[in-house]
Structure 1
Amino acid sequence: MSAILQMTAFGLTLLSALFLLLATCTDCWMVNADDSLEVSHKCRGLWRECVTNMQDGVRTCDQYDSILADHPVKIVVARTLLITADLLVGLAWATLLLGLDCIKFLKEEPRVKLKLCYGAGVILGIGSILGLVGSVWYAVDVYVERAMLVSHNLFLGVHYDFGWSCWLGMAGSTGCFMASVLLTCCLPLSFPPAPSHPQGPRCHVVTSKMYSINSRV
C-alpha cells in the first residue's frame, strides 16, 4: 500500500511540476475575450506580450523591458510566487525520489525514507500554496479589472480574460497540494508501526543483579 501511495504521489508531483513550469514560462496568462475581434489573438504573460495574426498565423512578441521595471502588481506577485513555487516543488521532487522504496539509497533505513517522503510532502504543501496564491491573485486581478471596465461602460479596444497559462498554474498547484496530502497524511498511516523492544532480557538482568547483591549480603 505504501509503495502505491509513493508512486502515485511521485507521478502527481512530476506532472504538477511540469504544469507549474509551463505556466511560469508561457505567455497566455491573459487572452483577449472580445468575440468581435477576429483579426488577431492577443496573449499577455509574465514576461512578454504576444499577438498572433489569425489570417496568416504570424506571431510577434514584445519582451518586457526589464525584470526590475515598473510592472502591475499582479505580474510582480505572480512572478515571485510562481518562481518560488517552482524551486520548492523541484526540491520536493528530488527529496521524494530519494525516499522511494524502489531506490537503493538508504534501503535498510525505512524510517529515514519515510521522513524523506514526509519532508517532501511538507515542501510540496508550501509550494502548492504559493503557486495557488500567485495564480488566483492574477486571475482575480484580471477579473476585477474587466468588471470595473464593464461597470463604467468603458471599452479600450479589447477585453481580457485569464488564459490557459493561468489555468495551468492553478492545476499544477492543486496537484502539488494533493500529492502533499498523500505524503503527509496517508503515507504515514499505511506504514507498519515500529516493532516494540521486548523487556524480558532487561528484567532478567536486573533480577540477576539483585540476586547477586543478596547473595553477597
Structure 2
Amino acid sequence: MRDLLQYTACFFAFFSAGFLILATWTDCWMVNADDSLEVSTKCRGLWWECVTNSFDGIRTCDDYDSIFAEHSLKLVATRALMITADILAGFGFVTLLLGLDCVKFLPDEPYVKVRICVVAGTTLLLAGVPGIVGSVWYAVDVYVERSSLILHNIFLGIQYKFGWSCWLAMAGSLGCFLAGTILTCCLYIFKGVGPERSYPYSMRKAYSAAGVSMTKAYIAPRTETAKMYAVDTRV
C-alpha cells in the first residue's frame, strides 16, 4: 500500500510541476473573448503577447518591456508567485524521487526515506499555495475587469478572458496539493504496514543475529542432555 501511495504521489508531483512551469512560460493567460470584433486571436502571457491571424495562421509575438520597467501589480505579483511555485514544486519532486523505495538511496534507512517523503509532501503543499493564489487572482482580476466594462457599457473593440495557461496553473497547483496530502497524511498512516518496515534494517539485522545465537545456545544444552539420556538408556 505504501508503494502505491508513493507512486501515485510521484505521478501527480511530476505532472503538477510540469504544468506550473509550462503555465509560467506560455503566453495564453489572457485571450480575446468570442464576442470581440477581432479577426485574430490575441493571447497575453506573463512575459509576452502573441497575435495569431485567423485566416493564414501567421503568429507574431512581442516581448514586454524589461522586468525593471513599470508593470501592473497583477503582472508583477503573478510572476513572483508562479516562479516561487515552480521552484518549490521542482524541489519537492526531486526530493520525492530520493524517498522512493525503488531508488537506491539510503536503502538501509527506511525511516529516513519516509521522512524524506514527508519533506517532499510539505514542499509540494507549499508550492500549491503561491500557484493557486497567483492563478486565481489573475483569473478573478481579468473577469472583474471585463465585467466592469460590460456593466458600464464600455466597448473597446476587444475584451479578454483568462486562457488555458491560467487553467494549467490552477491544475498544477491542485495537483501539488493532492500529492502533498498523499505524502504527508496517507503515507504517514501506512508507514508501519508490514513487519519488515516497522524497524530499521540495522535493528532488524542485530535482532535476527541475537535470535539465532540465543537459539543455538538454547538448543545445544538440550542436545547434550539428550545424548546423556541415550547413554544411560543403553547402560
TM-score (norm 1): 0.88
Q: Which amino acid aligns with 2:176?
A: C
Aligned length: 197
* 2:36–2:159 contact (8 Å) kept in structure 1: no
Match for residue 133 of structure 1?
Answer: 133
Match for residue 153 of structure 1?
Answer: 153
Matched, 1:49 2:49: yes
Q: Distance in 2 between matches of 1:39 and 1:50?
A: 14
* 1:85–1:130 contact (8 Å) kept in structure 2: yes
Q: Deviations over 1:153-202 (max 9, x none)?
A: 1011101000000000000000010000000000010111745x99xxxx
Q: CA RMSD in A?
A: 1.4
Pick closer, same or farther for the CA change 1:68–1:82 going to 2, 3 Å. same
Pick closer, same or farther for the CA change 1:154–1:38 going to 2, 3 Å. closer
Match for residue 142 of structure 1?
Answer: 142
Q: Distance in 1 between matches of 2:76 and 2:137?
A: 11
Match for residue 85 of structure 1?
Answer: 85
Report the identity percentage.
61
Larger Rg: 2
* 2:36–2:158 contact (8 Å) kept in structure 1: no
Structure 1 residue runs of 5 or longer lacking an equivalent are 199-217
Give the Å deviation of 1:62.
Answer: 1.0
More displaced 10-residue stretch of structure 1: 184-193 or 91-100: 184-193
Q: Distance in 2 between matches of 1:122 and 1:51?
A: 40
Match for residue 190 of structure 1?
Answer: 190
Q: Distance in 2 between matches of 1:107 and 1:68?
A: 48
Matched, 1:63 2:63: yes
Segments of 4+ moved more than 3 angstroms: none
Q: Distance in 2 between matches of 1:172 and 1:36?
A: 30
Structure 2 residue runs of 5 or longer lacking an equivalent are 208-235
